Structure 1
Amino acid sequence: MKRAEAWAALRTHEREPLDLLVIGGGIAGAGVALEAARCGARVALVEARDFASGTSSKSSKLVHGGLRYLAQGRIGLTRESVRERRALLRDMPGLVTPLRFLLPVRQSDRKGRRILGVGLAMYDFFAGRRTRQWHAPDAVLAQAPHLAAEGLAGGWSYLDAQTDDARLVLRVLAEARQLGALTLNHVAAERLIETDGRVRGALLHEDASGERLAVQARVVVNATGVWADQLRQDLGARPLLRPLRGSHLLFEAWRLPVAQALAFFHPQDGRPVFALPWEGRTLLGTTDLDHRDPLDREPGITAEEFDYLMQAARAAFPRLALEAEDVVSTYSGVRPVLDSGDHRDPSKEAREHLILDERGLLTVSGGKLTTFRASAIQALRRVQSRVPALRRLQADAALLRAPGIASVHATHALPAPLRQRLLARYGDASATLLAEAAPGELREIPHAECCWAELRHALRHEAVLHLDDLLLRRSRIGLLLRDGGAALLPVLRPLVQETLAWSDERWDDECHRYRERVLRCHGIPREWRP
Structure 2
Amino acid sequence: MNQDWNAAWRQQILPTLAAETWDLIVIGGGISGAGILREAARRGWRCLLLEQRDFAWGTSSRSSKMVHGGLRYIAKGQWRLTRDSVRERQRLLDEAPGLVEPMSFMMPHYRGGFPGPRVLGGLLSVYDALAGRRSHRFHDAQQLRFLAPGVKESKLIGGTCFVDALTDDARLVMRVLSEARADGAVVLNGVRVEQLLREDGRVYGVQVEDCEAGGPLQLRCGVLAVATGAWAERLRLPESPRQLRPLRGSHLLLPGWRLPVAQAFTFLHERDRRPVFVFPWEGATVVGTTDLDHREDLDQSASISAEELDYLLAACTQQFPAAEVSATDVLSTWSGVRPVVGSASAHQGKPSNETREHVLWQEPGCVTLAGGKLTTFRPQAIEVLKACADMLGRHFEDHAPAVFAAVPALSIPGLSPQQWRRLAGRHGRDLPRLAQLIAESGPETVGNTDTLWAELAFACEAEMVLHLDDLLLRRTRLGLLLARGGEAYFPAIRQLCQPRLGWDDAHWQQEQQRYRVLWQRHHGLPEATP
> With structure 2 as the length reference, what TM-score do the two structures score?
0.96
1:414 equivalent in structure 2: 415
- Is the Cα–Cα contact under 8 Å of residues 225 and 384 in structure 2 kept in the other structure? no
**Match of residue 333, structure 1, among 315, 332, 336:** 336
- Is the Cα–Cα contact under 8 Å of residues 338 and 352 in structure 1 kept in the other structure? yes
**Match of residue 366, structure 1, among 364, 371, 377:** 371
The answer to whether structure 1 residue 314 and structure 2 residue 317 are counterparts is yes
- Is the Cα–Cα contact under 8 Å of residues 199 and 360 in structure 1 kept in the other structure? yes
Per-residue CA distance 1:460-511 (angstroms, 9 max, x = gap): 0000010000000000001111110111111111222211121211111111
Per the TM alignment, residue 434 of structure 1 is displaced from its structure 2 partner at its CA by 1.9
Q: Report the Cα distance in structure 2 between the residues aligned to 1:15 and 1:458, rounded to whole angstroms.
A: 29
Q: Tell me the secondary structure at the aligned position of residue 417 of structure 1.
A: helix
Q: Tell me the secondary structure at the aligned position of residue 472 of structure 1.
A: helix
Q: Tell me the secondary structure at the aligned position of residue 410 of structure 2.
A: helix
**Match of residue 380, structure 2, among 375, 383, 403:** 375
1:483 equivalent in structure 2: 484
2:118 equivalent in structure 1: 114
1:353 equivalent in structure 2: 358
1:57 equivalent in structure 2: 61
Per the TM alignment, residue 439 of structure 1 is displaced from its structure 2 partner at its CA by 4.2
Per-residue CA distance 1:9-47 (angstroms, 9 max, x = gap): 565553542111000000000000000001000110010
**Closer, same or farther: CA 7–388 of 1 in aligned 2, 3 Å:** farther
Q: Which residue type is aligned with residue 144 of structure 2?
A: V
Q: Which residue type is aligned with residue 443 of structure 2?
A: L
Q: Report the Cα distance in structure 2 between the residues aligned to 1:122 and 1:37, rounded to whole angstroms.
A: 36
**Match of residue 392, structure 2, among 387, 390, 398:** 387
Per the TM alignment, residue 385 of structure 1 is displaced from its structure 2 partner at its CA by 2.6
Per the TM alignment, residue 116 of structure 1 is displaced from its structure 2 partner at its CA by 0.9
The answer to whether structure 1 residue 153 and structure 2 residue 157 are counterparts is yes
Per the TM alignment, residue 7 of structure 1 is displaced from its structure 2 partner at its CA by 6.0
Unmatched segments (≥5 aa) in structure 1: none
Unmatched segments (≥5 aa) in structure 2: none
Q: Which residue type is aligned with residue 283 of structure 1?
A: V
- Is the Cα–Cα contact under 8 Å of residues 11 and 215 in structure 1 kept in the other structure? no
Per the TM alignment, residue 5 of structure 1 is displaced from its structure 2 partner at its CA by 4.5
Per the TM alignment, residue 202 of structure 1 is displaced from its structure 2 partner at its CA by 0.5
**Closer, same or farther: CA 5–325 of 1 in aligned 2, 3 Å:** closer
Q: Tell me the secondary structure at the aligned position of residue 216 of structure 1.
A: strand
- Is the Cα–Cα contact under 8 Å of residues 98 and 423 in structure 2 kept in the other structure? no
What pairs with 1:196-211 in structure 2 (closer than 5 Å)? 196-211=200-215
2:77 equivalent in structure 1: 73
What pairs with 1:270-349 in structure 2 (closer than 5 Å)? 270-341=273-344, 342=346, 343-349=348-354
Q: Report the Cα distance in structure 2 between the residues aligned to 1:113 and 1:410, rounded to whole angstroms.
A: 46
Per the TM alignment, residue 142 of structure 1 is displaced from its structure 2 partner at its CA by 1.1
> With structure 1 as the length reference, what TM-score do the two structures score?
0.96
- Is the Cα–Cα contact under 8 Å of residues 241 and 336 in structure 1 kept in the other structure? yes
- Is the Cα–Cα contact under 8 Å of residues 276 and 282 in structure 1 kept in the other structure? yes
The answer to whether structure 1 residue 194 and structure 2 residue 198 are counterparts is yes
2:504 equivalent in structure 1: 503
Per-residue CA distance 1:287-337 (angstroms, 9 max, x = gap): 000000010011110000000011111010011111111111110000000
Per-residue CA distance 1:419-439 (angstroms, 9 max, x = gap): 112211111211111213464
- Is the Cα–Cα contact under 8 Å of residues 288 and 347 in structure 1 kept in the other structure? yes
Q: Report the Cα distance in structure 1 between the residues aligned to 2:376 and 2:185, rounded to whole angstroms.
A: 21
Q: Report the Cα distance in structure 1 between the residues aligned to 2:399 and 2:524, rounded to whole angstroms.
A: 41
- Is the Cα–Cα contact under 8 Å of residues 448 and 476 in structure 1 kept in the other structure? no
What pairs with 1:205-220 in structure 2 (closer than 5 Å)? 205-220=209-224
**Match of residue 47, structure 2, among 39, 43, 63:** 43
Q: Report the Cα distance in structure 1 between the residues aligned to 2:60 and 2:178, rounded to whole angstroms.
A: 16
2:131 equivalent in structure 1: 127
Farther off after superposition, 468-477 or 319-328: 319-328
Q: Report the Cα distance in structure 2 between the residues aligned to 1:324 and 1:423, rounded to whole angstroms.
A: 35
**Match of residue 400, structure 2, among 368, 390, 396:** 396
- Is the Cα–Cα contact under 8 Å of residues 411 and 431 in structure 1 kept in the other structure? no
Per-residue CA distance 1:185-223 (angstroms, 9 max, x = gap): 111111111111111110111122212210001111110
Q: Which residue type is aligned with residue 92 of structure 2?
A: L
**Match of residue 248, structure 1, among 241, 248, 251:** 251
The answer to whether structure 1 residue 223 and structure 2 residue 250 are counterparts is no
- Is the Cα–Cα contact under 8 Å of residues 20 and 218 in structure 1 kept in the other structure? yes
Per the TM alignment, residue 388 of structure 1 is displaced from its structure 2 partner at its CA by 5.5
Per the TM alignment, residue 528 of structure 1 is displaced from its structure 2 partner at its CA by 2.5
Q: Report the Cα distance in structure 2 between the residues aligned to 1:387 and 1:485, rounded to whole angstroms.
A: 48
**Closer, same or farther: CA 33–393 of 1 in aligned 2, 3 Å:** farther
Q: Report the Cα distance in structure 2 between the residues aligned to 1:437 and 1:501, rounded to whole angstroms.
A: 21
Q: Tell me the secondary structure at the aligned position of residue 65 of structure 1.
A: coil
- Is the Cα–Cα contact under 8 Å of residues 241 and 338 in structure 1 kept in the other structure? yes
**Closer, same or farther: CA 8–295 of 1 in aligned 2, 3 Å:** same
Q: Which residue type is aligned with residue 387 of structure 2?
A: R
- Is the Cα–Cα contact under 8 Å of residues 291 and 352 in structure 2 kept in the other structure? yes
Q: Report the Cα distance in structure 2 between the residues aligned to 1:325 and 1:525, rounded to whole angstroms.
A: 12
Per the TM alignment, residue 392 of structure 1 is displaced from its structure 2 partner at its CA by 4.8
Q: Which residue type is aligned with residue 399 of structure 1?
A: V
Q: Which runs of 4+ in 1 moved over 6 A?
A: none
Per-residue CA distance 1:212-241 (angstroms, 9 max, x = gap): 210001111110110001121x45322111
Q: Report the Cα distance in structure 2 between the residues aligned to 1:228 and 1:219, rounded to whole angstroms.
A: 16
**Closer, same or farther: CA 412–365 of 1 in aligned 2, 3 Å:** farther
Q: Which residue type is aligned with residue 257 of structure 1?
A: P
**Closer, same or farther: CA 8–496 of 1 in aligned 2, 3 Å:** closer
**Closer, same or farther: CA 324–344 of 1 in aligned 2, 3 Å:** same
Q: Tell me the secondary structure at the aligned position of residue 24 of structure 2.
A: strand
Q: Report the Cα distance in structure 2 between the residues aligned to 1:339 and 1:133, rounded to whole angstroms.
A: 35
Q: Tell me the secondary structure at the aligned position of residue 511 of structure 2.
A: helix
Per-residue CA distance 1:47-70 (angstroms, 9 max, x = gap): 000000000000000000001111
1:104 equivalent in structure 2: 108
- Aligned-residue Cα RMSD (Å) equals 1.6
Per the TM alignment, residue 74 of structure 1 is displaced from its structure 2 partner at its CA by 1.1
- Is the Cα–Cα contact under 8 Å of residues 23 and 46 in structure 1 kept in the other structure? yes
1:435 equivalent in structure 2: 436
**Closer, same or farther: CA 52–105 of 1 in aligned 2, 3 Å:** same
Q: Report the Cα distance in structure 2 between the residues aligned to 1:79 and 1:203, rounded to whole angstroms.
A: 39
The answer to whether structure 1 residue 29 and structure 2 residue 30 are counterparts is no
User: Share of identical aligned residues, percent?
Assistant: 47
Q: Which residue type is aligned with residue 321 of structure 1?
A: E
- Is the Cα–Cα contact under 8 Å of residues 410 and 431 in structure 1 kept in the other structure? no
Per the TM alignment, residue 521 of structure 1 is displaced from its structure 2 partner at its CA by 0.5
The answer to whether structure 1 residue 456 and structure 2 residue 457 are counterparts is yes
Q: Tell me the secondary structure at the aligned position of residue 370 of structure 1.
A: coil
Q: Which residue type is aligned with residue 185 of structure 2?
A: A
Per-residue CA distance 1:261-306 (angstroms, 9 max, x = gap): 0011101111110101100001010000000001001111000000
Q: Which residue type is aligned with residue 515 of structure 1?
A: R
Q: How many residues end up aligned between the 2 structures?
A: 524
